[in-house]
Amino acid sequence: MNIKFGASLLSWITPVWTPEAGKYAIEKTAGAGFDLIEILLPASMDFNAKQVKQQLKDNHLDAVCSLNLPKEAHIAFHPKTAENLIKQAVDKASELEIDFLGGVLHGGIGVFSGNPLTENEAETIIEVWSKAADHAKERGVDIGIEPINRYETYVCNTAKNVLDLISRTEKDNLFLHLDTFHMNMEENNFYDPIILAGNKLKHIHMTESHRGMLGEGTVNWEELFKALKEINFEGNLVLENFSSSIPGMQQMVSLWQRSPYNDEELALGSLAFMKNHLT
C-alpha cells in the first residue's frame, strides 16, 4: 500500500479561510507529523496560491485540495455555476502543483428537491462532471467525489451512488472520496463499499461517529482497514475530526457537546491510531 496520512484544515481552524489561519494550519499539520494537509478551498476562491505554495514548501508538507459546493452551486439547479466553480477549484489546485481535488461535488450541501434524484438531474450531473473532468485532465488533476448523509443531500449518499454516476461519464480521472462519518449512517458496513470501489477509491476522511478521537466511537475500523489492505489502497487517509477547543467550531459543525480533547491531542492520537492499524 502507498498511503499518505493527512489532516484537514478543519483539524485546526474553522472553515473560514484567511492567510493567517491557513499558515497556522499548515504549520500545525507539519509539526504533528502528517504527510499532507487538505486545504478546503473557499467558494469565493479568494486564495493566494503562490503564497500558500511557499508556506507548504517551507514546512516540507504535501497538500490536496477540496471543495464543497455551496447551495447556489447545486448542480441539478445551477449547472453552469457549479461547472465554473469546480473548474476554478481545479485551477487553484493546479497553481499549487496539487494533483487532487476532493469534496462534495455532486450538489450543494443542504439543498433538497423533496424527492429522490431524478434521471434528468443525474444526466445534468454527468454532463457537468464530464466537462470538469476534461478541464482537470488538461491540468493533471484527479477529482474525488464525496457522498454524504441523507440529512445534508439527496444526491449521493453512498459509494455506489457516486461510482454509478462516475461510470456513466467514462472519465478516468474521476474517483471516489469516502468519509467514515457519513459511511457510518449510510452504508451497510465499512468493508463492502471499499471493495466495490477498488482502485477508484483515492481519498478517505477518517472521522469517528461523534467526530472525536478515532477508536472511541462506533465506526468499525477493523472492517475498514481490512478492506484497505485487500484492495492495496493507494491514496490519502485524512483526519476530519473536530474539537470544541477551536473557537467557532461548535457553531460551524453543530458540535454541541464539549470535546474531551483539544485539537492537538485529537490530531496526534488519531494519527497514532491510523498508523497502528497499518503496521
**What's the total number of domains in the chain?**
1
According to the model, what pLDDT value does residue 96 have? 95
pLDDT: which is higher, 75 or 43: 75
Amino acid, single-letter form, for residue 163: L
Cα 209 to Cα 189: distance, rounded to the nearest angstrom: 13
Give the whole-angstrom CA distance, residue 141 versus residue 54.
Answer: 20
pLDDT at residue 258 in the model: 87
Residues 6+ apart with CB under 8 A from 37: 6, 7, 8, 9, 25, 26, 29, 30, 56, 61, 62, 63, 64
pLDDT at position 16: 78
CATH code for position 39: 3.20.20.150
| Beta carbons within 10 angstroms of residue 63's beta carbon | 22
Residues with Cβ within 8 Å of residue 110, at least 6 apart in sequence: 71, 152, 153
What is the tens place of the pLDDT at every residue in 191-228? 999 999 999 999 999 999 999 999 999 999 999 999 99
Query: What local confidence, expressed as pLDDT, does residue 43 receive?
Result: 87
- Mean pLDDT confidence for 20-40: 95
The Cα-based distances of 161 to 5, 93, 172, 200, 277 in angstroms read: 26, 26, 17, 13, 28
Between the alpha carbon of residue 190 and those of residues 22, 140, 182, the distances in Å are 32, 30, 11
* H helices, E strands: number in the chain: 10, 8
**pLDDT tens per residue, range 152-162:** 999 999 999 99
Average pLDDT over residues 217-241: 97
> How many whole angstroms separate alpha carbon 202 and alpha carbon 207?
16
Q: Rounded CA gap, 132 and 82, in Å?
A: 9
Query: Which residues constitute the domain of residue 114?
Result: 2-277
Instruction: Quickly count: other Cβ atoms within 10 Å of residue 254's Cβ.
Output: 10
Under the banding of pLDDT at 50, 70 and 90, the label for residue 242 is confident
- pTM of the predicted model over 0.85: yes
pLDDT at 14: 81
Average pLDDT over residues 46-62: 94
